């Protein structure tokens, strides 16, 4: 192997590096209950894994000032409990180590707020592989995935976009990559709804971590 296929690779977090189902769905269940919406089975909320928080709450029927109330309730539970209820996707730590060893620069581009990205990577031992961690920043209006991707690339020193890839499990990751000009790679082990990834037309689709390794390292 003469070198990595990509100079830099950005990864989504939830559904891509980790399986956050329990923590996220129960935190949304708690958030909705705080404004009077009872969801008996948190697994009914898996569609909320990936999109922005307030967009999810609005889609769930929360309106007006209740959006901020529910968002605060979500963060209260997720910060203290939910973030630690995730599990790492098998094979991901080894993949990150292989990419790092090959000289690929790695960044996290997550829809979570940046501090939650740091906490998650630290907790699961993934932080050493990442040069930058960039998430949503509501105060600066950085909510959409393309803005998050752009900021992550800026933090990496603006490497050529034609040598960069974005890996994620939802259409938001694919669309964010496409907006910025990165190679878009969808992974099928996350939380995309039926037909979602195909409709987003990623450049590549990985069905296993080993397949993703082959794509990223040009094996």
Final residue of a structural domain among 39, 66, 85: 85
The verdict on 162 and 57 lying in the same domain is: no
Domain assignment of residue 98, yes or no: yes
pTM score, whole prediction: 0.89
Domain assignment of residue 168, yes or no: yes
Domain assignment of residue 2, yes or no: no
Burial of 55 (0-12, 13-18, 19+ CB in 10 A): middle
Domain assignment of residue 1, yes or no: no
What is the per-residue pLDDT for 136? 87
Domain assignment of residue 130, yes or no: yes
The verdict on 73 and 108 lying in the same domain is: no
Catalytic residue at 12?
Answer: yes
DSSP-assigned beta bridge partners for residue 132:
107
CB 151 within 8 A of CB 158: no
Q: Give ∠ CA 9-81-45 in degrees, rounded to 5.
A: 70
Domain assignment of residue 3, yes or no: no
Domain assignment of residue 46, yes or no: yes
The verdict on 177 and 94 lying in the same domain is: yes
Residues in the chain: 219
Domain assignment of residue 75, yes or no: yes
- The domain in which residue 49 lies consists of 21-85
The verdict on 13 and 38 lying in the same domain is: no
The verdict on 69 and 155 lying in the same domain is: no
The verdict on 185 and 124 lying in the same domain is: yes
Token pair, residue 108, equals: 């996290």
The verdict on 29 and 124 lying in the same domain is: no
Task: Please tell me which residue in 12, 14, 169, 173 is annotated as part of the active site.
Answer: 12
**How far is the C-alpha of 209 from the C-alpha of 26, rounded, in Å?**
27
Look at the chain and report how many structural domains it folds into.
2
The verdict on 27 and 126 lying in the same domain is: no
Token pair, residue 3, equals: 């070198």
- In angstroms, the Cα distances linking 13 to 41, 119, 130 are 24, 12, 12
CATH code assigned at 29:
1.10.150.240
**How far is the C-alpha of 209 from the C-alpha of 154, rounded, in Å?**
27
The verdict on 15 and 37 lying in the same domain is: no
The verdict on 189 and 130 lying in the same domain is: yes
**How far is the C-alpha of 191 from the C-alpha of 98, rounded, in Å?**
25
CATH code assigned at 164:
3.40.50.1000
Final residue of a structural domain among 85, 109, 137: 85
The verdict on 81 and 98 lying in the same domain is: no
List, run by run, the mean pLDDT of 10-residue segments along the chain (219 residues): 78 96 96 97 92 92 97 94 96 97 96 92 97 87 88 96 96 96 97 95 98 92
DSSP H helical segments within 14-163, as ranges?
Answer: 21-33, 53-59, 65-80, 92-101, 114-123, 145-155
């Amino acid at each position: 192997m003469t070198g990595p296929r990509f100079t830099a690779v950005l990864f989504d977090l939830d559904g891509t590096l980790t399986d956050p189902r329990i923590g996220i769905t129960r935190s949304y269940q708690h958030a909705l209950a705080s404004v009077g919406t009872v969801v008996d089975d948190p697994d009914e909320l898996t569609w909320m894994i990936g999109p922005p928080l307030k967009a999810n709450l609005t889609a769930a029927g929360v309106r007006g000032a209740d959006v901020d109330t529910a968002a605060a309730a979500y963060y209260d539970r997720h910060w203290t409990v939910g973030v630690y209820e995730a599990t790492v996707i098998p094979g991901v730590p080894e993949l990150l180590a292989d990419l790092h060893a090959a000289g690929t620069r790695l960044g996290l581009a997550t829809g979570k707020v940046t501090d939650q990205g740091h906490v998650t990577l630290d907790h699961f031992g993934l932080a050493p592989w990442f040069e930058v961690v960039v998430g949503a920043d509501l105060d600066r209006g950085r909510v959409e995935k393309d803005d998050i991707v752009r900021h992550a690339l800026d933090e990496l020193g603006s490497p050529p976009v034609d040598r960069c890839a974005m890996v994620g499990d939802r259409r938001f990751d694919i669309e964010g990559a496409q907006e910025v000009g990165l190679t878009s790679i969808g992974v099928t082990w996350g939380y995309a709804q039926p037909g979602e990834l195909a409709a987003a037309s990623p450049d590549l689709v990985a069905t296993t971590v080993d397949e993703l390794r082959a794509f990223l390292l040009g094996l």
